[in-house]
Amino acid sequence: MNTQETGAIAVFGGTGQQGGAVVDALLARGARVRALVRSPDSDRAQALATRGVELSAVRIDDPATTVAALKAVDAFYFMTPEANSLEEVEEEVRVGAALVDAAAAARVPHVVFNSVFGADRETGVPHHDSKHRIEEYLELSGLRATMVRPTAFMENFATVMAPSVEDGTIVLRLPLPDDIALKMISIKDIGQVAASILLGTADVPGGAVEVIGDELTGSRIAAAFGAHAGLPARYEALPLSVLGNDLDKAMFRQFAEASEYPSDLAAVRAIEPSTRDLAEWIRSTGWTAPTDLVRS
């Protein structure tokens, strides 16, 4: 393990979804990547190592490890872990602040923080305001910083927001009124955008970009899945009360309010012209309609 060479891009979260996409995009462009990992022996870390990624073992509670891992890198990308409770929100801020402190101590030339859309302001969404606090902390550090602010993952339509097929019709149900356009991006494209910024091939005026590939109402999302499957489609807006978690309730309330803000679609396409819209994401992932739930 060598942490003293120059020319590497450091990535925190490389064994996860977004950080993994950043690693993929960097490797595809021939960059040297150093992943900051807590468990170098884990299967995911070892899978990175076999692809030529340098592993640097870090412990957030031990600044010497993170500072050493960031020595002499050209740029540093970090995301912060998922928070599902107010306690985890505080932990998220702690992790983010520790990484900023380490980057400052190691004099990293450029830090890219994978934040969330809307984090330029307080929104009342605890796990978004946490990222706003980290952005503020990063700005105060004096480091050169770029905020990459992803919108909702398109991949959620393959898991927690998946449409169903009922009596031959694609049905999408979300706790979002149908006159609201949901902003979204594929995780792979977050990686492409972040890699361009890390490698300095993209200019980000103002030092922040909302990472968005599409914005569609529930009916139009359902229609995109229906068009792909060759089935009729409908959308049903659900009340926020279907959500069990207060953080999720606050987030979906914010999704509705955030659609009033102008989007950065054009800016993202200027950075990465191949950024996919939802129809392209559905095609490119080979999505197939789930088994029909015949009710009649």
Ligand X SMILES: NC(=O)c1ccc[n+]([C@@H]2O[C@H](COP(=O)([O-])OP(=O)(O)OC[C@H]3O[C@@H](n4cnc5c(N)ncnc54)[C@H](OP(=O)(O)O)[C@@H]3O)[C@@H](O)[C@H]2O)c1
Which single residue brings its beta carbon nearest to ligand X? 16
| Interface with ligand X (CB under 6 A), residue from 25, 60, 111, 125 | 60
Cα of 97 vs its chain's centroid, Å: 18
Residue 95 or 209 with smaller CB distance to ligand X: 95
CB of 81 to ligand X, least distance (A): 4
Q: Which residues contact 16 (CB under 8 A, 6 or more apart)?
A: 79
- Alpha carbon distance 278, 164 (integer Å): 17
CB of 168 to ligand X, least distance (A): 29
DSSP E strands, the chain: 8-12, 32-37, 54-57, 75-78, 111-114, 145-150, 152-153, 164-166, 169-174, 182-185, 208-211, 214-216, 233-237, 292-293
Alpha helices in 74-125 (DSSP H): 86-105
CB of 254 to ligand X, least distance (A): 12
**Site for ligand X contains 254 (CB under 6 A):** no
Residues touching ligand X, count (CB under 6 A): 21
Site for ligand X in 26-55 (CB under 6 A): 38-39, 44
**Site for ligand X contains 13 (CB under 6 A):** yes
CB of 22 to ligand X, least distance (A): 9
| Interface with ligand X (CB under 6 A), residue from 19, 96, 126, 218 | 19
Site for ligand X in 106-165 (CB under 6 A): 116, 127, 150, 152-153, 156
CB of 114 to ligand X, least distance (A): 7
CB of 167 to ligand X, least distance (A): 29
The pair of structure tokens assigned to 103 is 């980057």
Number of Cβ within 10 Å of residue 200's Cβ equals: 11
Residue 83 or 165 with smaller CB distance to ligand X: 83
**Site for ligand X contains 191 (CB under 6 A):** no
**Site for ligand X contains 275 (CB under 6 A):** no
Q: Which residues contact 220 (CB under 8 A, 6 or more apart)?
A: 181
**Site for ligand X contains 85 (CB under 6 A):** no
**Site for ligand X contains 217 (CB under 6 A):** no
Q: Which residues contact 97 (CB under 8 A, 6 or more apart)?
A: 134, 137
CB of 127 to ligand X, least distance (A): 5
- Alpha carbon distance 68, 112 (integer Å): 18
- Alpha carbon distance 53, 46 (integer Å): 9
Phi, psi of 83 (to 5 degrees): -120, 125
Which three-class secondary structure string do you get for 194-208?
HHHHHCCCCCCHHHE
| Interface with ligand X (CB under 6 A), residue from 82, 179, 236, 257 | 82
| Contacts with ligand X, residue ranges (CB under 6 A) | 13, 15-19, 38-39, 44, 60, 79-82, 95, 116, 127, 150, 152-153, 156
